[in-house]
Structure 1
Amino acid sequence: MEQRQAIVAVLRRGDRVLAIRRGPGVARPGYWQPLSGRLEPGETEEQAVVREVREEVGLTVVPLAKVWESETDDHRFRLHWWTARADTGEVVPAPDEVAETRWVTPQEFLVLDPVFDGDREFFERILPEL
């Protein structure tokens, strides 16, 4: 089965990152994670970061750098992790996709439950080096 491509948007404000709890309209609701979404045909990763963030929480962001790649635990998606700046603006969640949002420190993210193993690895191993 061919892997689909998806982005993960690590939105930063100061020492905090935006975490969302997956809403009722998506697979595996209830999990906490950074914003994510699949690439549309012909779209660059940067364009996908900007679009997904706008669709899911209404923020306009500036993609900064690709910082990691991983796969989902079911191997269906290759995830391209991007940092992005979201200095201003109000978080307005799309209710179907996003049940709740929080700006968290990496330590606070690691005590949220449940989270995906790949996300935990990012917050433990990759983010502290950035």
Structure 2
Amino acid sequence: MIEFNYETNFKLDNEVEISNWISNTITSEGYTLGDINYVFCDDDYLHKLNVEFLNHDTLTDIISFDYSLGKTVQGDIFISIERVKDNAKDFNVSFVNELCRVIVHGVLHYCGYKDKSEEEALLMRKKENHYLSLLS
């Protein structure tokens, strides 16, 4: 089950469509959907989590806590709407495109993809682009 939670004034317009897309992504990667909670928040909210749980005193667009068991994907994904807006401007893409990229990015981590090395980051970006192309 996918749940969307809001700690800011932002709200997804198409929760059902996004939920189906995430579920299809997980299935396409050979995994089963467990419980995923998306929490949309602001920079302050996510910064506090970043400091408290990861000991990183920086702003970020996404933090994911992976509780997956075997091939069952589950966890909590926190997304800063402020960071997504700024990144969309920086990358010259629409807010919706950048938001969906971040949404699928968290799920791809749960499916075993990493982005620490340049090679891993390139594969992650390729996967993100593939799944973004499937979102109508």
Q: Between the two structures, name the one with larger relative contact order (CA 8 Å, sep ≥ 6).
A: 1
TM-score (norm 1): 0.29
Q: Which structure's CA Rg is the greater one?
A: 2
Q: Greater share of helix residues, 1 or 2?
A: 2
TM-score (norm 2): 0.28
